[in-house]
Amino acid sequence: MRRSYVAPAVALCLSGCVEPQTGSRGAPRLPPSPSSQPPALEEPVAASPERTELSAKPAPDASPAPGTTTNPSTSVAAPSAYASSVALAPTTSSLPSAASAATANTSGPGGCPAGMIAIAATTFTMGAPAGEGASFERPAIRVKVGAFCIDRTEVTVEAYVRCAAKGACEPATSELRVTTGLDPHYVVVPSRECNASQTGRDRHPVNCVSQAMATAYCKWAGGRLPREAEWELSARGSDGRRYPWGTATPGAKLLNALGLDSPASATANGTVMMYRAANGYPTTAPVGSFPDGASPFGLVDVAGNVDEWLADGAWTYADHTAGITDPSFPLRAGAIEGAMRGGSWATDSPSRVAAYARVWGNPAMRDLTTGFRCAR
């Protein structure tokens, strides 16, 4: 499950992430109600780039949304002022998009820009089959999705840095952390552990990005973030498979997840891992390093490497048992449940990398396990 970096068998979620939980893990855990009092937001702290131990506690007077329970390790309310405090530089009409700059006069199959995969309009079954998944991953519903294009790989550091250099994207070199103590609050801290802060990681997925930062990049590149239904179709196809590659148990040759070569602090108890093998990558891997784990359409790293921000907020399948066409549920103003999919290099549970697995995170979150890909 996604926990603080210092917790055993961690799957990194530093501020307000929630995940499917079943069986002994209890009911689904959602973030605190947006109506709860937010903690104060401090200015970015540049003096301490090193990772610090996190022990997030609920904000005073925070109360869960009706019918939900909070995660005691991550239930600090999102500061309502945060979105405006990290507003990105506006994209101007004179600024060329990445798509036009990098793929002028080129296109891939289906008329998509080079590097993207065309997905034809189709109807597929979205969600977990009976007897699998968490309650909010069921019931499975029939979803009609129009044709779209989607990136074959997660957005790389190299690509994101080009956007930042143009002033259209905020640099992805800081993490949003929660302080310890009696008055927990968010701080934005420059981090040498973000991929964009390191040398030699141009082909690694960009991480340390919020949902707004991911949205801004995709807009600059001439696209948008994928919707949840588009992502699931791209990851599993229309044959109802559990994992992008089929039904085989997740292993070190199929995806980059928590294994024997993950950081010592992330495997402190030595018991819970995705697989007991080393894949050569302690954290992220260059995109496309696990071709055997590709989806039916050829997307790579849709399981593991980094979780991927999506365009949607929270919504329930139970409200759409009669079927739905092109579902789109944009994040509402003030909402703190941003959709993400796929699991990361720090994910320890096979259930979290199933193609139907759902998880939401505080949209302001930017940590080492979260990135994105674009669609159009």
Contacts of 20 (CB under 8 A, 6+ apart): 28, 133, 134, 136, 137, 351, 352, 357, 358, 359
Cβ atoms of residues 75 and 36 within 8 Å: no
Contacts of 15 (CB under 8 A, 6+ apart): 56, 74, 76, 78, 176, 177, 178, 186, 361, 362, 364, 365, 367
The pLDDT of residue 65 is 35
Cβ atoms of residues 208 and 196 within 8 Å: yes
Q: Tokens 């022990």 identify what position? A: 55
pLDDT in tens, 170-208: 999 999 988 888 888 889 999 999 999 999 999 999 999
Residues in the chain: 376
The pLDDT of residue 46 is 33
CA torsion sign, 221 to 222 to 224 to 226? negative
Tokens of 47: 């003096």
pLDDT in tens, 195-254: 999 999 999 999 999 999 999 999 999 999 999 999 999 999 999 999 999 999 999 999
The pLDDT of residue 35 is 32
What secondary structure does DSSP assign to 141-194, as a single string?
EEEEE--EEEESSPPBHHHHHHHHHTTSS--S-EEEEE--SSS--EEEEE-TTS
The residue extents of the domains of the chain are: 1-376
What secondary structure does DSSP assign to 255-304, as a single string?
-B-S-TTS-GGGGTTS---S-SS--S-SS---TTS-GGG--TT----SSB
Cβ atoms of residues 276 and 253 within 8 Å: no
The pLDDT of residue 94 is 30
Q: Which residues of the chain have pLDDT under 70?
A: 1-109, 264-271
Check whether the bond before 139 is cis (ω within 30° of 0): yes
Q: What is the pTM of this model?
A: 0.75
The pLDDT of residue 189 is 94
Q: How far is CA 265 from CA 7, 172, 353, in A?
A: 8, 23, 22
The pLDDT of residue 268 is 53
Q: Which CATH architecture has domain 1-376?
A: Alpha-Beta Complex (3.90)
For the CA atoms of the chain, what is the radius of gyration? 19
